[in-house]
Amino acid sequence: MRAGIDRRTGKVLTSWAHCAQSISTILTTVIGSRVMRRTFGSDVPALIDRPGNNSTFVLFVGRTAAALKKWEPGFRLTKVNVLQMSGDGRSAFELVGDFYEDGHLGIYGAPTRVSAAYDVAGMLVRAA
């Protein structure tokens, strides 16, 4: 079973809630910024201050998919929905995919369809 600590409350997180938090960590970590794990993270932070247009969205989806495929074995991304994209820089997105409870162990049984919404800073807003 997946388990970890909620970075905001200090309480125990398990299952999909832990995975959703891990996704946030992956997407907000700049590659090269972790001393003992230089390749960890994503190229998503490099998109900050880019125009909120279709080409930036395509880059976002590609970079998100690549990072999650590499670093989150318990989640398989199937869809990205834009929840908000405004001219003043506010944006929010939803990641939809399949969660494998024991994917981190290399066990891929029956998946559960899940989704999580994140704001522009990559902070988890909602996990379902």
> What are φ and ψ of residue 49, in 5° steps?
75, 5
Radius of gyration of the chain (CA): 14
CA angle (96 as vertex; 33, 76 as ends), nearest 5: 65
Cβ contacts of residue 108 below 8 Å, gap of 6+? 100, 102
What pTM, to 2 d.p., does this model score? 0.90
Q: Which fold has domain 3-127?
A: Nuclear Transport Factor 2; Chain: A, (3.10.450)
Domain boundaries, the chain: 3-127
Determine the pLDDT at residue 47. Answer: 86
Determine the pLDDT at residue 57. Answer: 87
Q: What are the structure tokens assigned to 85, written together?
A: 């994209």
Q: Which helix (DSSP H) or strand (DSSP E) does residue 75 occupy?
A: strand 75-85
State the average pLDDT over residues 43-69. Answer: 90
Contact in structure between 81 and 97 (CB atoms under 8 Å)? no
Q: Is the pLDDT of residue 121 over 80?
A: no
Contact in structure between 122 and 27 (CB atoms under 8 Å)? yes
Q: CA-CA distance, 115 to 80, in Å (whole number)?
A: 9
Q: Minimal CA–CA distance to 2: which of 27, 24, 20, 25?
A: 20
Selected residue with higher pLDDT from 97 and 120:
97
State the average pLDDT over residues 8-16. Answer: 93
Determine the pLDDT at residue 124. Answer: 75
State the average pLDDT over residues 64-69. Answer: 96
